[in-house]
Structure 1
Amino acid sequence: MSTIYLNTIIKADIHYVFDLARNIDLHQQSTAKTNEKAIAGRTSGLIEKNETVTWRAKHLGVYQNLTTKIVSMEAPNQFTDEMQKGAFKSLKHQHIFKSVNGKTLMTDVFEFESPLGIIGKLFNALFLTDYLRKFLLQRNELIKAIAESSTHEGIAIF
């Protein structure tokens, strides 16, 4: 199992950052490079506990579908999604939020396992972990930019 840890400090209210992080429309904006689209389950707005979303995206030159489910949620402190169907052997993404001196610390704990045993582990080490880290950083940069903008233009969260 491979794990990516990311911490992002955002100068915004924890409730607002929490909602941005679970916003389907914002996620689609942040993944424009892979043409990621929500095609089933919750396809727009704020995803809630026990809801699923199926994403279709082009990664590594191949279109793939990935269905995740929000398996836990405690607003505004955390939510966790887990893969229900997709190319990974397993995938779990914990989103953790803490209020620190008027700012929000957003932490991602992204655990994944590729299929194909040792070949999958080698692929993770040589390529996939870095690819996914960059993918998550792009998402986090957009969340930060929107949350810290004075106008909050470009995304409706409700």
Structure 2
Amino acid sequence: MQTFIKSSYIKCNIQTLFDFHLDVNNLKHITPNDTKVTLITKDFKPKQSETLEIKSTKYFIPMYWKVKIEKIDEPNLLVDIALKSPFKYWEHKHIFIQHKDRCELKDVITYELPFGNFGKLFNPFIAKDLQKMFDFRHKITKEILEKGLN
């Protein structure tokens, strides 16, 4: 298993940050331009044990995800686990911590690639791609919430 962690600080209150992440329509706004996201599940409202289906397309390659909301602890935690994805295992913890006038947004992703040892050869590429994607996500989330555009 591999773990990726990205953390940043945003000037907002914790409930605003939590609510922003509950709105799955925001995925389209915080996804890098080289990836297109289509919500297959329409009008999804995250609740524990509910599932969301997403199609993401990158380099003209469609990838289908079925994600289960594993845990919601409002306003501090949202955990989703992929039931179907390009990964053998994928768990994404969205952690929100209030620090006076700022919130810490922390993404912790635990994943395993398919194909055993052969799949492990791709870990450096996946880590680089995750870094790029979450740098973008955090940057855009910060811009949106600090400008009050949501």
TM-score between both structures, scaled by the size of structure 1: 0.87
Find runs of 4+ consecutive structure 1 residues off by over 4 angstroms. none
SS at match of 2:141: helix
1:101 is aligned to 100
2:110 is aligned to 111
* More deviation, 129-138/46-55: 46-55
Distance in 2 (alpha carbons) for counterparts of 1:50 and 1:137: 28
Letter in 2 for 1:147: L
Letter in 1 for 2:77: Q
The question of whether the paired residues in 1 share the 8 Å contact of 2:34 and 2:59 is answered with: no
1:7 is aligned to 7
The question of whether the paired residues in 2 share the 8 Å contact of 1:19 and 1:46 is answered with: no
Q: Map of 1:121-140 to 2, 5 A cutoff?
A: 121-125=120-124, 127-140=125-138
Unaligned runs of 5+ in 2: none
Identity of aligned residues (%): 28
Q: CA deviation at 1:46?
A: 4.6
Distance in 2 (alpha carbons) for counterparts of 1:114 and 1:121: 7
Change (3 A) 1:15 1:45: farther
SS at match of 2:135: helix
1:148 is aligned to 146
Distance in 1 (alpha carbons) for counterparts of 2:59 and 2:24: 22
Distance in 2 (alpha carbons) for counterparts of 1:140 and 1:47: 20
Change (3 A) 1:97 1:8: same
SS at match of 2:34: helix
Distance in 1 (alpha carbons) for counterparts of 2:45 and 2:103: 19
2:39 is aligned to 38
Letter in 2 for 1:129: A
Q: CA deviation at 1:9?
A: 0.3
Equivalenced residues, count: 149
Q: CA deviation at 1:60?
A: 4.5
Q: Deviations over 1:36-86 (max 9, x none)?
A: 11112xx34652322211111113541110111111011001010000112
Name the Cα RMSD after superposition. Answer: 1.5
